[in-house]
A and B are shown apart, each in its own frame.
Chain A
Amino acid sequence: MSSTVEREPAHVVIKRPRRMPIPLLGWVGIVVVAFWLIMAVFGPMLTPHPAGEVIDPDGFGPMVPGMWLGSDVLGRDVLSRIMAGAQTTVGPAIAATLLAVFIGGTLALAAAAVGGWIDTALSRTMDAVISVPSLLFGLVAVAALGVSVPVLICTAGVIYVPGAFRIWRSLAVNVNAMDYVSVARERGEGMPYIMRREILPNLLGPVLADCGLRFVFAVLLLSSLSFLGLGIQPPDADWGSMVRENLPGLIYGAPAAIFPAAALATLTIGVNLLVDNLPGRER
């Protein structure tokens, strides 16, 4: 963290990035994300009850010992289902986000660095892709490729590629117009070098902020796609789907309606605090 935090409104203190310690909120993000990553790996083995077993036949039960977070719409243990659901939520959402950002980002850098008709072609293609309704896209994916987790990840990834592309490109064309990029170009540097070494490091901040949000959307998109039948199959459920299926319990204030949403909230807040406070990021 910068050592001189300005208190007076009249000044803005901006320091060049340098090796800085991670601030408290960053640590919070790291701890939360690490917790859920561990849960994603070991959660399904640690559940107090099997995630599909009915332990309370009346459903929407309260929080009692042995059923610490109550029971869900079908009388299953909410705690166990959240623990088991970490795997089906965190993994695919991160994979889909990375996929979207990797493809969208690479294409955007290429478009900005090369320019000309490649830029035009890529940009217009992305416009077209984003304009195809994602419902249609999901349904075609199910029909053509069947239902499996890799198909789920790819579909969610591809749906978010154009969005990532648009943001990255708009940032990259600004950087591309900078003198130091022109200098590198004059130097005769290759295109991959310019993309990776000159442009990329200079748009990292906004791009990471975008990634964090895109991750949130990916989590929710997964639950919509699960609803279409793409990917995660019952009795397993991702957290978004758990919120959805237990929503009727909200009028009773059933814990089953609240805790999956809370788990989702901690995960997305954690991820965003983490990317916002990565060392070397301007804050």
Chain B
Amino acid sequence: MRPALAVTGFLLKRLLFAAGTLLAVSLAVFAATEILPGDVAGAVLGQSATPEALAALRASMHLDLPASVRYLHWLGGMVTGDVGHSLVNNRPVSELIGSRLPNSLLLAGAATAFCVPIGLLLGICSAMRPTSVFDRVTSVATLSIVAVPEFFIGTLAVLVFAVNLRWFPALTLSPRIDSVEGFFRSMTLPVLSLSGIIIAQIMRMTRAALLDVLRRPYVEMARLKGVVGARLVLFYALPNALGPIANALALSLSHLLGGAIIIETIFNFPGLAKLLVDAVSTRDMPLVQACTMLFCLAYLILGTLADIAGMLANPRLRAS
């Protein structure tokens, strides 16, 4: 089968499965919000919740309907493109997400653009010369960065660069893209604080996967034929290592969109991770669902891309 055809078929199948996965996740999330003690009425009233006030508020939010009816109602809305209203502040979910999604995408995009080339480059260089001084230094340096919790690094970065040196603001209240200078001022610290762990992840997986391939017989054969150095690594070894590398990439990048909670907290960055945490703590089902669906979709897309990369790179998988 021609690769293009294989990929198309594969994509169609994946699309079908993606719908199924989203449905399953939404059910699981709905069940979880139902299982958790407390509900959105209790969260809105907080410490001042009396039984009758709770009952009245529940009725006004239609929480008195059976769970299955509420889920189907939500699902019906979702299928027709209506993501619903937040239960706690009655605003459209699309508006709440819409005001934060660009920020999260910007953060994820900037971090990706910064980390992926560096991680890949370091990983490839290390794999080309394992046990060299460069390899050792890179390995220990990246480990040292990963080894310190993100919130420690982030706070330290703020203290040094924002409080003492005043190079950057301590908060990223609104990430700016209107000017290059504004962009760097608002995004440098969050991206740097995020990057350590991502670079390390990519670098380590690249190095390990490449080394693994480099000791395969076919690479040895190529070397015996006189292929050496960068050419050997990039054209002979890398394609076969691409699958695992792409998967590691997909895992760490999908984490960027909704998992940057620590960075969002330290810099008071208005992103999606905080929105989800908020929504969970107030049991705001439509908002929890919308965020989760979004993260799930991002993950599925990245995962599919990674799988396609892996398939295309490996002739044996391509054939099957």
Could you tell me which A residues sit within 8 Å of B by CB distance? 1-2, 5-6, 9-12, 14-17, 23, 25, 120, 124, 127-128, 130-133, 135-137, 139-140, 143-144, 163, 166-167, 169-171, 173-174, 177-178, 202-203, 205-206, 208-210, 212-213, 216, 220, 223, 240, 243-244, 247, 250-251, 261, 264-269, 272-273, 276, 282-283
Contacts and interface: CB of A to CB of B under 8 A. Distances in A.
Interface in B184-217: 200-201, 204-205, 207-209, 211-212, 214-215
Contact of A127 (B21, B144, B159, B276): B21
B36 A140 contact: yes
Contacts of B250: 166
B152 A261 contact: yes
A128 B28 contact: yes
Contacts of A23: 131
Residue with the greatest number of chain B CB neighbours at <10 A, chosen from A14, A25, A137, A247: A14
A169 to B, nearest CB: 8
A135 B149 contact: no
B139 interface: yes
A157 to B, nearest CB: 17
A272 B159 contact: no
Interface stretch (B1-9, B52-60, B104-112, B292-300): B292-300
B317 A177 contact: yes
Given A11-B229, A132-B25, A132-B32, A265 B131 contact: no
Interface in B231-264: 232-233, 240, 243-244, 246-248, 250-251, 258
14 contacts: A5-B132, A14-B219, A132-B292, A167-B244, A173-B243, A174-B244, A205-B212, A216-B147, A250-B152, A264-B148, A264-B149, A265-B148, A266-B147, A269-B143
A223 B148 CA distance: 13
Given A127-B296, A133-B291, A264-B147, 7 more contacts: A6-B129, A132-B29, A133-B29, A171-B244, A243-B151, A261-B152, A264-B149
Nearest to B303: A127
B137 to A, nearest CB: 11
Residue with the greatest number of chain B CB neighbours at <10 A, chosen from A131, A173, A174, A251: A131
A79 B22 CA distance: 48
Contacts of A127: 21, 296, 299-300, 303
Per CB-CB distance, the 7 closest pairs between chain A and chain B, nearest first, are A131-B296, A177-B316, A209-B208, A268-B147, A206-B208, A265-B147, A170-B247
B29 A14 contact: no
The B contact surface, by secondary structure, is helix
For chain B, the bracket of interface size reads: 35 or more
A132 B25 CA distance: 6
Contacts of A251: 159, 163
Contacts of A120: 17
Interface of B: 17, 20-21, 24-25, 28-29, 32-33, 35-37, 128-132, 136, 139-140, 143-144, 146-152, 155-156, 159, 163, 200-201, 204-205, 207-209, 211-212, 214-215, 219-220, 223, 228-229, 232-233, 240, 243-244, 246-248, 250-251, 258, 276-277, 280, 288, 291-292, 295-296, 299-300, 303, 306-307, 310, 314, 316-317, 320
Nearest to A134: B259
Given A23-B131, A223-B149, A264-B147, A282 B201 contact: no
Contacts of B205: 167, 206, 209-210
Contact of B280 (A136, A163, A174): A136
A261 B149 contact: yes
Nearest to B318: A177
Given A167-B247, A206-B212, A283-B130, A243 B147 contact: no
A206 B249 CA distance: 14
Given A124-B21, A143-B35, A131 B292 contact: yes
A131 B219 CA distance: 38
A168 to B, nearest CB: 9
A220 B316 CA distance: 39
Given A128-B24, A131-B21, A132-B32, A1 B131 contact: yes
Contacts of B214: 12, 14, 282
Contacts of B220: 14
Nearest to A209: B208
Contacts of B247: 166-167, 169-170
Contact of A174 (B159, B207, B314): B314
Given A140-B32, A205-B211, A250-B156, A133 B276 contact: yes
A124 B277 CA distance: 25
A267 B143 CA distance: 11
A163 B21 contact: no
A2 B36 CA distance: 56
B201 A124 contact: no
A171 B205 CA distance: 11
Residue with the greatest number of chain B CB neighbours at <10 A, chosen from A120, A210, A273: A210
